[in-house]
Amino acid sequence: MTRRDPSQPIKVAVAGLGAVGMTVVRAIASGDLPGFTLAAVSARDTEAAAKRLDALAVSVPVVPIDALEPYADLVVEAAPSELVPAIVTPFLKAGKSALVISVGALLAHEDLIAVAREHGGQIVVPTGALLGLDAVTAAAEGTIHSVTMVTRKPPRGLKGAPYLTDNAISVDDLTEAKLVFSGTAREAAKGFPANVNVAAALGLAGIGADRTTIEIWADPAVTRNTHTISVDSDSASFTLAIQNIPSENPKTGRITPLSMLAALRKMTAPIRVGT
């Protein structure tokens, strides 16, 4: 591992200024993430992005996503999933790092992993809304027999998902829980790109997206995004459950941007806890 000069802050580019991106921007601008400096941002609406930065008294370039790489050492991806290749590829080809929150896009663009390998770059997937990935990755060093996950979300948090639209599945006016999807993590990530990036992360951490099975329920009785994971392996069998409080975006839990901050903080911390 290349030794980092602690006197030189890590230059960060942020692609996307929604709940996740703005959390990172605020943390760096306020000094809550020592060792980092904000170098540039990109957003679909550049005028709105500039106003958000002005409100924080932050002055950095607002540039198109394909112009971010020269400004920074790493990029924080917090944008629509279809933009992931355009955001991270230049950084990976330059041997830099990309923190990816739209994990499902990695299943659709697995060539990005090959690009990182070839050029010495690295894709970092924060834990996000899912606990227990350390245990899953540890179990994967041995033999995992099965990984299953059951997700329950308030119906409004699932509205607009491509799978529901394509299959004419309504989640309006539900009075009881409704199973809206059952299949593999790969299928779930494709059909619910803004909802279950956790499924993609779980697949990547364990036995692969095609052997990891997912159920998604629209449940009017829950107010939090809930995930229950069950793993059976030759080293341990365990069940993990988490209830995530939604952010202002009902598709994203509050813990997701905090997970991005934790991943960044580990990069400069004198002690790292967890694999």
CA proximity to 107, closest of 231, 203, 206: 203
Is 227 among the residues known to form the active site?
yes
Residue in the block written with tokens 């119906």:
155
Which residues, in sequence order, are CB contacts of 110 under 8 Å at separation 6+?
none
Residues 232 and 246: their CA atoms lie apart, in Å, by: 29
The catalytically annotated residue of 109, 119, 145, 227 is 227
The token duo for 23 is 């959390």
Residue 206 · residue 140 · CB < 8 Å? yes
Residue 99 · residue 260 · CB < 8 Å? yes
Rounded to 5°, angle at Cα 31 from 28 and 34: 85
Residue 206 · residue 137 · CB < 8 Å? yes
Catalytic positions: 227
